[in-house]
Amino acid sequence: MIRAGRRLPRRRRVITARWFPARLKPSSSPRRPSQVPTAKPRRAVTMRRLHRSLLLAVLSKPLTRHRPPLPPHPHRLPFSTGALSTVPPPPDAAQGTARARPAGLAFLETAELQESAGDHQKALDLAIKALGPLQESHGGWSLPVARALRVSGAAASRLGLLSDSLESLDAAAEIVDSLQGGGAEAATVGAAVHDELARTKTATGRLWDAVANLRRALELKVRFLDQGSAELGDAYRDVAEAYVGVLCFGEALPLCLKAVEMAEKRFGEDSEEVAKVRRILMVVYTGLGCNEEAMAQNELIRRVYERLGLDGELSLVEIDGAVIRILLGRSEDAMNDLKKVMKRANKESLERALAFVTMAKIMFSQERFSDSRRCLEIARETLDAKGYGSPDRVVGAYTEISMLYESMNEFEVSLCLMKKTLAFLEGASGMQNIKGSISARMGWLLLQTKRVDEAVPYLEKAIEKLKNCFGPVHFGLGFAYKHLGDAYLEMDQLQSAVKFFSLASDIINAAFGPKHEDSIEMIQSIANAHGLMGSYKLAMDFQERVIDAYESCGPDFSYEIREAHRLREQLKMKAEGSRSAVFPANSLPSLLTDRK
């Protein structure tokens, strides 16, 4: 948020970090494409692009450490807590009920054993058999019923029955959460239920919801696990990594520091296990803009890998260090790091390709555009010639390359690489966040190249995935709404344009504050759309809000204030039926770009 009397900074392209070991990318403020002298753009670019951190955010892995789903089976679990009996069994149950008690528990215990053995079909069948007898013997809202629902939900998830799994696990969570003061056993079952919910929601692309379940599982584990236990340390790490996966770096920081502390006590400061957690902490610091702290973590990790002789991991960490040095303005040191990687790595290795991508970014920032393109060509040749077993790393590399081509305004090359990346991701499980982010960026680029009909499906798909991955109020989703509104405006679907501009305005205003240029631009877009619809009264109301916003920024914004007043006068003339009115005029950001 800007302060009055201070000019809003014009955005310049900032070199962004390559994917990090946690497969995530720090956030930075959304930017316009740079105009590169050697590559003339198709037209003046005035729209905001989707935030780059979203495109580079690749799945965090702790939630997906389970077997890939098997082919779908028929739906088996039409179950909800609405079907549960709310009346506990009488103390002196009938003889039939007494016989049901051991049968239900026996089915449940056998189901848990089958789950441990990996026979999920048998576990599912036995857990379902256990539900009826357990309700009779223990009551519907009881811990044994919750245990059976957890087993059935977990088994269904492993068998690919994700909707059934969620239904069963949601019912189990509702039961466990209702058992206030249930002691260590209830907390243990509850933690297992919420862990399974997080895994299943991640498998369906609902990363944002999954984080809440992981956090709840951690809260329950704290109640029954020893403070120095391995499981609790892993839980802190996994929740921190999950928060990084949805770009909530502030929430991740204290959890990650706790995970580092516990890992040091367990493994020793110079262990590989601690280095892995420090890599997550490095991403967190970079995401928070604490680049010096991130560099300190990078140095600590580097020493450990050097001592252990882990050359492959060392090369990746040195590339990460080079990116952080770029952010710190130390491009020469970054280049030296990359030369070390190239000297150590094999000619056709992934590490060497990634080093060339990072080197291309340095050269681009130095306006050595031909050298930058040559580095990208070498990286592409390496990636195209050899398949790699780590899809997220390959996706990260192609994503970086496509964005650099976009920075050079070579939109067709960029689009081609993004389509290739999406095709590559089709066979990969999970990674819904990067699929959504790439779709959003492709929609924006198609919009820039006047292929509006092609842009809309990509933007609609992106909105669905981004909402699930980052939540309903993340600023990246706001820019996706904005771009979809622009598309509908181009298609003369003005009501739809106003709808999506309004959604975008709420999110962007909440993210950046009312005086930020993106927030003001959104109000201007709504005014323009209402003006096109002939709703001049509404348009003038929004135009007044634009004027008020710029005037609150102080006298340094005299040009913007003057242009906002000019647009209001054109609206007024249009409302009065004047033929000389030129509204709808270009939006204010276009005028500002033209002035520059």
Please tell me the predicted confidence (pLDDT) of residue 52: 40
Q: How far is residue 453's CA from residue 441's CA, in Å, rounded to a whole number?
A: 15
- Which pair of structure tokens corresponds to residue 295? 């560099």
Q: What average pLDDT values come out for the chain (596 residues) when binned by 10 residues?
A: 34 31 34 33 34 36 34 40 49 45 83 91 92 87 92 92 92 88 87 94 89 95 90 95 92 96 93 95 95 96 94 92 93 93 88 92 92 93 73 82 92 92 76 87 93 95 90 90 95 95 95 92 94 91 94 87 90 82 52 40
Strand spans (E) along 146-211:
none
* Residue 104 maps to a domain: yes
CB atoms within 10 A of CB 118: 10
Give the residue numbers spanning the domain of 209. Answer: 59-225
Please tell me the predicted confidence (pLDDT) of residue 527: 94
* Residue 311 maps to a domain: no
What does the H/E/C string look like for 479-548?
HHHHHHHHHHHHCCCHHHHHHHHHHHHHHHHHHHCCCCHHHHHHHHHHHHHHHHHCCHHHHHHHHHHHHH
Please tell me the predicted confidence (pLDDT) of residue 261: 95
Please tell me the predicted confidence (pLDDT) of residue 426: 77
Please tell me the predicted confidence (pLDDT) of residue 577: 81
- Which pair of structure tokens corresponds to residue 18? 């390559």
Q: How far is residue 571's CA from residue 497's CA, in Å, rounded to a whole number?
A: 19
- Which pair of structure tokens corresponds to residue 102? 């051991």
Strand spans (E) along 60-202:
none
Look at the alpha carbons of 330, 332, 337, 341 in this order and tell me if their dihedral is positive or negative: positive
Q: Which amino acid is located at 8 in the chain?
A: L
- The domain tally of the chain equals 1
Task: Tell me how far apart the terminal alpha carbons of the chain are, to the nearest angstrom.
Answer: 23
* Residue 118 maps to a domain: yes
Please tell me the predicted confidence (pLDDT) of residue 129: 92
* Residue 497 maps to a domain: no
Q: In degrees rounded to 5, what are phi and psi of residue 289?
A: 80, 10
pTM, rounded to two decimals: 0.77
CA proximity to 52, closest of 19, 32, 30, 24: 30
Whole-angstrom CA distances from 474 to 132, 282, 356, 435, 460 are 43, 22, 32, 16, 16
* Residue 156 maps to a domain: yes
Spatial contact of 46 and 593, defined as CB atoms under 8 Å apart: yes
Spatial contact of 339 and 366, defined as CB atoms under 8 Å apart: no
Structural element, H or E, at residue 452: helix 452-470
β partners of residue 39: 36
CB atoms within 10 A of CB 533: 16
Q: How far is residue 160's CA from residue 61's CA, in Å, rounded to a whole number?
A: 19
Q: How far is residue 117's CA from residue 100's CA, in Å, rounded to a whole number?
A: 26
With H, G, I as helix, E, B as strand and everything else as coil, classify residue 142: coil
Look-up: residue for tokens 């930017």?
31
Look-up: residue for tokens 């007024």?
572
Q: Which amino acid is located at 265 in the chain?
A: K
- Which pair of structure tokens corresponds to residue 136? 């009779």
CB atoms within 10 A of CB 73: 13
Q: How far is residue 490's CA from residue 510's CA, in Å, rounded to a whole number?
A: 26
Spatial contact of 344 and 311, defined as CB atoms under 8 Å apart: yes
Spatial contact of 192 and 150, defined as CB atoms under 8 Å apart: yes
* Residue 537 maps to a domain: no
- Which pair of structure tokens corresponds to residue 317? 């960490």
* Residue 21 maps to a domain: no
* Residue 182 maps to a domain: yes
The CATH number of residue 205's host domain is 1.25.40.10
